[in-house]
Chains A and B, each alone.
Chain A
Amino acid sequence: MTDIWRMIARRLLLGLLTLFVISLVIFGATELLPGDLARELLGQSATEETLAALREQLGLNDPAPVRYWNWLTGVLQGDFGVSMATQKPISELVGARLGNTLFLALYAAALSVPLSLLLGVLAALWRNSIFDRASNAMALTSISFPEFFVAYILVLFLAQTGIFPSMVRITAATTFGDRIYMAFLPALTLTLVVTAHMMRMTRAAIINLLASPYIEMARLKGMSPLRVVLRHAVPNALAPIINVVALNLAYLITGVVVVEVVFVYPGLGQLMVDAVTNRDIAVVQAIALIFAAAYVLLNLIADVLSTITNPRLMHRR
């Protein structure tokens, strides 16, 4: 078990290094973008005079390394700074959006993970049957359409008929039940988009194992096919499944801006797009770090879990 803890500690340190490098890259990239926050805030109506005054107020006149250093020292002390545009603390600005994003990601995961595991196991069990073909075809069809198209199709059939709302108006006062109801269409869209990946991986991993001698042995001992799959195949297939689930969870947190736009869902993706458009670099940095951290942490969890499920990895020498 100490191996595991040592691995976690090492991976966390590496993760911090990754975040540092990412923050440098993001800062550099936003510096390369033409224009700055002052210009974007004043828009078409900017004059040289007002631009100069606003840049002075926003502290945009410092050289880039100084600005990066100020930001970094703030973050190391747990202070992500204030949004340059609204002067609100970033923790406040990002906090509510992060909550919304996590809610939608978990909601979609709660729908898609059990669904794809179930479909994957059944498809492996009834390989080459009508069920296998149909579930494969449907999953591949839904992943092949662009997300917004899936979203509009759902709006056409489920929102314009009045069953579910076409947009999500979540405020701090919205109850949990209302959230579940209002966010159903975006969660369903995401479910349709990510199910294929997880389901196909589950199916492939199990089918791969079904050819192994020990499974043959179990069959010869006269076990039922379901028991063979659940008791003998699935535990050994967990590592690749856990990895693909983690990858999809990370995608659900970081990559849903299109779905957010279609359903007017106030999540992090939309905030990030706004911040990039307006060159509000402090906000961009904070969100980029959250996204990177989501990938680092989920991958770490996936690796830990797959190590635990595989004794061979626990005792490698």
Chain B
Amino acid sequence: MTNLILPRGISRRGLLQGAAAIGAAGLILPAGARSAMAQAKKGGVFRIGLGHGSSTDSYDPGLWEQLYVQTFAAARVNYLVEIAADGTLVPELAESWSSADGITWAFAIRQGVTFHSGKTMTPDDVVASLNHHRGDASTSAVKPFFDPVTDIKVDGQNVIVTLNAPNADFPYLMSDYHIPVLPSADGKIDPNTSDGTGGYIVESYEPGVQATMNRNPNYWKADRAHFDQIIMLTILDPAARLNALMTGEVDLIDQVDPASISLLESRGVSRIISVSGNAHYVFPMDARAAPFNDNNVRLALKYAFDRQELVDKILAGHGSVSNDNPIGPANRYFHAEMEAKTYDPDKAKFHLKEAGLDTLEVTLSAANAAFSGAVDAAVLMSEKAAAAGITITVDRVPDDGYWDNVWMKKPFCASYWGGRPVEDQMFTTAYAAGAAWNESFWDNARFNELLVAARSELDDTKRREMYHEMQQLVSFEGSTIIPMYNNYVMAVANNVGTPEKISANWNLDGFRCVERWWFA
């Protein structure tokens, strides 16, 4: 009963136009969500077992970084905007947004929404929530998003955000899971509050163990949050997670080990949901260090392994081949027509020769902390690369401290990205010269120039051309090997109802399974 959901027509309407239309027509829900409403039933206790969560998890939104806290947040808070299942931006706490020049953005804040504490949500709360991620004392992970923001102020029921340069995608950034609207006092939010405007009220929470939430009776969305109660459990052991689902202890688990999928299906008590999104696994190479400072060496490595083999063996088919492209098929400006790279030892040898080399010896540092199966993937690449005269020595490093000691420290290692809903966000985060997370230290003048130009370009066709050219640059001149897009694989009990289309922007229906799903 594998339910393979592929991204289909993603809206291509210009963002500014779209925002205006939404503003005029009020709340427009995507078609998928409407049909789901008709079938959704209320009630039940939804129990979720996730392979994340630790006793050090906190309520501070700036520190959220894994699926447990992300989903926990989606249940109790709301954001200014939401990414719908079809990838378009729809209103949430902001009823509409507009900008004449891409520099000054006005968000019209919804009226009559209350927090769980009974306090009414005001534009002041929005300003305080955004300011939590700005300033020298901010410890927020999304502080870089707010670097271009010069001013945030209240104007009646609107919140006005001013940037230092035009950014057509700025409203998209406001959908990021780090930026919920929380209650404020004296211009500051309390980062340790469990309060929010979301569909569920926290009854109890023990970090790393369990959270229990009850439905918010005053939730402002009538057609969302169908369960009476949600229990979220941390189950770190993959076998314990499978057991919990098979013995009926939980109704949803994440991170199903690809090797156990067929076993799970044969039991007949649950179904697998496999959603292809923008998430991808990567092997960044330090573009500043020899031999990776020569693009021919990088190209040789890109042709020296079998991408389909990795998809088949590491992902058990739950994914697709990537052409060294961090922009995924669920993105608006995905470049699908690029020349595909296949396993071609001769081509790899040709590029080696261009670089003035006969053979190449490199060390690839990998740990499964980067992604599940990273070490196996490295070994498979090493086996295939031998035919092209390339010796890849796989250095298996410990999971503990991986992001500290290996990532961005060793010249060639494994890493992953959750994918970003916006092209600019992905490129700015990991490919712009000097970006804090530019893991390959790549610096391409043409790319950097296009990045700034595309951000402020308001003509859709021109933007598309620019983003296509940038994808081409990353793919053929970039310093990151991107072999595959990994699907989000989860399993649910048979009686869990899901919308026809499941969001691909993040795992678990964009974290919103808690308010979009129901018991059939």
Asked if chains A and B come from one complex, the reply is: yes
Inter-subunit contact A41/B63 (CB<8 Å): yes
Knowing A53-B136, A160-B243, say if A169 contacts B55 (CB, 8 Å): no
Name the residue on A nearest B400 (C-beta): A277
Number of interface residues of A (CB under 8 A): 49
Query: Is B427 engaged at the interface, CB distance under 8 Å to the other chain?
Result: no
A50 and B141 contacting across the interface, CB-CB below 8 Å? yes
Choose among A57, A167, A169 the residue with the greatest number of B CB atoms under 10 Å from its CB: A167
Interface locus among A80-88, A132-140, A246-254, A301-309:
A80-88
Q: Which of B143, B206, B235, B244 has a CB less than 8 Å from the CB of A50?
A: B143
Contact residues in B for A48 (Cβ distance below 8 Å): 436
Complex CA–CA separation, A167 to B243 (angstroms): 8
Tell whether A314 is near chain B: CB-to-CB under 8 Å.
no
SS class of chain A's interface: helix, strand, loop or mixed? helix
CA distance A60 to B400 in the complex (A): 20
Q: For the complex, is B372 an interface residue (Cβ under 8 Å from A)?
A: no
* B433-463 to A contact mask, C-beta < 8 Å, 1/0: 0001100000000000000000000000000
Instruction: Name the B residues within 8 Å of A270 (CB-CB).
Output: 55, 208
Residues A167 and B240 in contact, CB atoms below 8 Å apart: yes
Residue of B56, B62, B66, B249 most packed against chain A (CB within 10 A): B56
Assess whether B3 is interfacial by the CB under 8 Å rule. no
- Is B496 located at the chain interface by the 8 A CB criterion? no
**B401 interface hit (Cβ, 8 Å):** yes
Is there contact, CB below 8 Å, between B139 and A171? Answer: no
Decide if B184 is an interface residue (CB 8 Å cutoff). Answer: no
Bound-state CA distance A159–B239 (Å) is 13
In this assembly, does B150 line the interface, its C-beta being within 8 Å of a C-beta of chain A? no
Q: For B136, what are the chain A residues with a Cβ–Cβ distance below 8 Å?
A: 53
9 contacts across the A-B interface (CB closer than 8 A): A35-B404, A39-B404, A42-B63, A57-B139, A166-B249, A167-B243, A262-B237, A266-B208, A274-B208
How many Å lie between the Cα of A46 and that of B237 in the bound state?
27
Contact call A283/B55, Cβ cutoff below 8 A: yes
4 A-B pairs with the lowest CB-CB distances in the bound complex, closest first: A85-B56, A35-B404, A47-B436, A45-B141
Using A57-B137, A86-B55, A264-B240 as known contacts, list a sample of 15 further A-B pairs with CB atoms less than 8 Å apart, ordered by residue number in A: A33-B400, A40-B56, A42-B65, A53-B139, A83-B56, A85-B55, A166-B243, A167-B240, A167-B243, A167-B249, A171-B210, A262-B240, A263-B240, A266-B208, A277-B54
CB atoms of A45 and B139 under 8 A apart: no
Interface residues of B in 179-208 (CB under 8 A from A): 192, 204, 206-208
Residues of chain A with a CB closer than 8 A to B237's CB: 261-262, 264
0/1 interface trace, chain A 20-37, chain B, CB 8 Å (1 if under):
000000000000011101
Assess whether A155 is in contact with B243, with CB atoms less than 8 Å apart: yes
The CA of A263 and the CA of B239, in the complex, are separated in Å by 10
Contacts of A261 in B (CB 8 A): 236-237, 240
**Which B321-363 residues have C-beta < 8 A from chain A?**
none
A46–B192 Cα gap in the complex (Å)? 20
Q: Do A85 and B58 touch (CB < 8 A)?
A: yes
Residues of A within 8 A of B309 (CB): none
Task: Choose among B55, B65, B138, B244 the residue that contacts A275 (Cβ–Cβ < 8 A).
Answer: B55
Q: What residue of chain B has the Cβ atom nearest to residue A83's Cβ?
A: B56
Verify B407–A44 contact, CB threshold 8 A: yes
B209 at the interface (CB under 8 A from A): yes
Verify B247–A160 contact, CB threshold 8 A. yes
A86 touches B56 (CB 8 A): yes
CB neighbours (8 Å) of B26 from chain A are none
Task: Decide: A169 and B233 in contact? CB cutoff 8 A.
Answer: yes
A271 touches B (CB below 8 Å): yes
Which residues in B have their C-beta under 8 angstroms from that of A57?
Answer: 137, 139
Q: Say yes or no: B56 contacts A160, CB within 8 Å.
A: no
**B140 close to A (CB within 8 Å):** yes
Partner of A49 from the list B142, B143, B207 (CB cut-off 8 Å) is B143
B133 to chain A, nearest CB (A): 10
Given A41-B63, A45-B65, A283-B55, are A167 and B235 neighbors across the interface (CB < 8 Å)?
A: yes
**Structural contact, B403 and A50, CB atoms closer than 8 A:** no
Give B240-266 interface residues, CB cut-off 8 Å to A: 240, 243-244, 246-247, 249
- In this assembly, does A280 line the interface, its C-beta being within 8 Å of a C-beta of chain B? yes
Q: Which of B141, B208, B233, B415 contacts A271, CB < 8 Å?
A: B208
Chain A CB within 10 A, most for which of B62, B137, B235, B243: B243
The yes or no answer to B43 lying at the interface (CB within 8 A) is no
| In the complex, A43 has a CB within 8 A of chain B | yes
Q: How far is the CA of A87 from the CA of B56 in the complex (A)?
A: 9
Instruction: Note all chain B residues with C-beta closer than 8 A to A167.
Output: 233, 235, 240, 243-244, 249
Chain B minimum-CB-distance residue to A261: B237
Q: Contact check, A34 vs B240: say whether CB atoms are below 8 A apart.
A: no
The answer to whether A43 and B65 touch across the interface, beta carbons within 8 angstroms, is yes
In the complex with contacts A160-B243, A171-B204, A165-B404 CB distance below 8 A: no
- A275 x B56 contact (CB < 8 A): yes
A interface footprint on B63-99 (CB within 8 Å = 1, 0 otherwise): 1011000000000000000000000000000000000
B140 touches A35 (CB 8 A): no
